[in-house]
Amino acid sequence: MITLTEQAFDAGAALGAFSSGRTESGAVASFLGLARGEAGRRVALELEAWPEFSGPEIEKIAQEAARRFHLHDVEVIHRLGQIAPGEPIVLVMTAAAHRREAFEACDFLMDYLKSRAPLWKKEHGPTGARWVEPTARDLADAERWDG
């Protein structure tokens, strides 16, 4: 399930709900990304999406993760709009029979979200704002899974 939301979300509650009632998944892994304050240089992050396109594209990424890592289930929650330092931006959760697949699927999902999901990130500082583009490291991280 993919959720794009302007509202702050409770990562603990989401993980609890995702884990509950599983009798065949031996492993649930998760990654929670938080907005960094950069020692006062960043007042807020702003995440822009094209909901009619971004949702389905992220769903494709999640389905690819499920196929590659034999997941029993996968869920992505991504914030949109203004996000204050310390607030969760993204939560990915994976359920699999064993831990390795669950861990690796989280890694894959985050690498793809960083540079291949239709989302755009703007950094608001004390003196102005700038659009953030994926770094060479972000691009290389996603390419690890190609081919």
Partner 1 sequence: MKVLLFGRLRDLAGWRESEVTPAPATLAELRRVIGERWPELAEALAGPGVQAAVNRALVRGDAPLSASAEVAFMPPMSGG
Write out the residues near partner 1 by the rule CB under 8 A. 33, 47-48, 50, 52-53, 56, 78, 89-90, 110, 113-122, 131-134, 138
Nearest approach in angstroms of CB 40 to partner 1 is 22
Q: CB nearer to partner 1: give 55 or 72.
A: 55
Q: CB nearer to partner 1: give 2 or 66.
A: 2
What are the two backbone dihedrals, phi and then psi, of residue 12, each rounded to the nearest 5 degrees? -65, -45
Q: CB nearer to partner 1: give 73 or 138.
A: 138
Nearest approach in angstroms of CB 139 to partner 1 is 9
Measured CA to CA, the distance from residue 77 to residue 86 in angstroms comes to 16
Nearest approach in angstroms of CB 21 to partner 1 is 28
Tokens of 111: 């690498």
Question: In degrees to the nearest 10, what's the CA dihedral of 120, 142, 57, 61?
Answer: -140
Nearest approach in angstroms of CB 53 to partner 1 is 5
